[in-house]
Amino acid sequence: MRYDITGGNLPVLKCQLDAGEEIICEAGAMSWMDDCMEMTTTGGGLKKMFGRLLGSEPLFINRYTARTAGEIAFSSSFPGSIVAFRVTPDKPVILQKKSFLAMTPGVDSEIFFQRKLGSGFFGGEGFIMNRFTGDGMLFAEIDGSAIEYDIPAGGRKIVDTGYLAAMDGTCSVDIVRVKGAANIFLGGEGLFNTVINGPGHIVLQTMPVSKTAALLYNYMPHPSSNN
C-alpha cells in the first residue's frame, strides 16, 4: 500500500491499494474510492464492540478490499492534521478516543485505561484511550496542528486535559489535580492536568475539539431564562 496525506488544514488520506490489499476504518469514515473497492462491515466480536462503546467510537468497522489496483480516501472530520504511525510488535501506539481514522490489516485495537482510575473519572477527557498493537500502519486525526516530543526516561510533560493526541506504549499517563485554591479558581486552567511520563514519543494537538466547542458556545445566542 502507498499513501499520501494532502489538503493542508483540511487533510485527506489517499491510499493506493494493489489487488488483494485491504484497509480498515470506522463505519462512515470513507470519503471516496474507486469502483474496484469491496466493503465488508463487522463488529469484531462483543469484546471489541464493548471497548469501542466505552471509547465513544462507532460499534462497527469497515474493511475495504481492492479487487484491482485503485484508490480509497479518508478525510479528517475536523480542521487539523492526519498523522501516520508505524506500529510494530515492540512499539504499540496509544491514541486519544475518536482520533482513529484507518489502519492496515495486522494492526489490532483495544481499550486503554489511564493508570489512576479514580483521578481519571474526575479528570474528564482523556481517561479512556485506544491502544493499537501488531504490525502495520495506523492513521489518526489530530485536532489542529500536531506537535511532537520525545520524552526521556525519567522525564515528563504536563499538558492541559485534551491536548494529548497520541503516545508510545512505553509512556504512562497520570491525571493530577492542580495545586492551590487560587490556581484552581483564578488560573483558568481547570481542576486537572495530564502528566505524561517517559520514555517515549508523544504527539500533542493544538486545537482540541472540546476546547473549540466550549469557546464557540460562548458566542452563541442562548434563550432567555424567561422563555
- Looking up residue 165, the CATH number of its domain turns out to be 3.60.160.10
Residue 94 lies in a domain: yes
Boundaries of domain holding 127: 2-217
Flag whether 66 is in a domain: yes
* 223 located within any domain: no
Q: HSE (CB half, 13 Å, CA atoms) of 84?
A: 15
pLDDT block averages, 10 residues each, the chain of length 227: 95 97 91 97 62 59 96 93 96 91 94 59 59 96 95 94 92 77 46 87 91 73 60
CA distance 88 to 150: 18
* Interval 190-205: pLDDT, tens: 567 889 999 999 999 9
pLDDT, tens digit, 9 for 90 and up, residues 30-73: 999 999 999 999 875 545 555 555 555 556 789 999 999 999 99
Rounded to whole angstroms, the Cα distance separating 129 from 113 reads: 6
Domain annotation covers residue 92: yes
Query: Residue 58: CA atoms inside 13 Å, Cβ hemisphere, count?
Result: 14
Among 68, 107, 61, 62, which Cα is nearest to 84's?
A: 107
Which amino acid is located at 27 in the chain? Answer: A
| Residue 225 located in a structural domain | no
The answer to whether position 155 is within a domain reads yes
- Total domains in the chain come to 1
Residue 50 resides in a domain: yes
**Residue 224 in domain:** no
CB within 8 Å of 26: residues ≥ 6 apart? 57, 58, 60, 61, 62, 100, 101
The pTM assigned to this predicted structure is 0.82
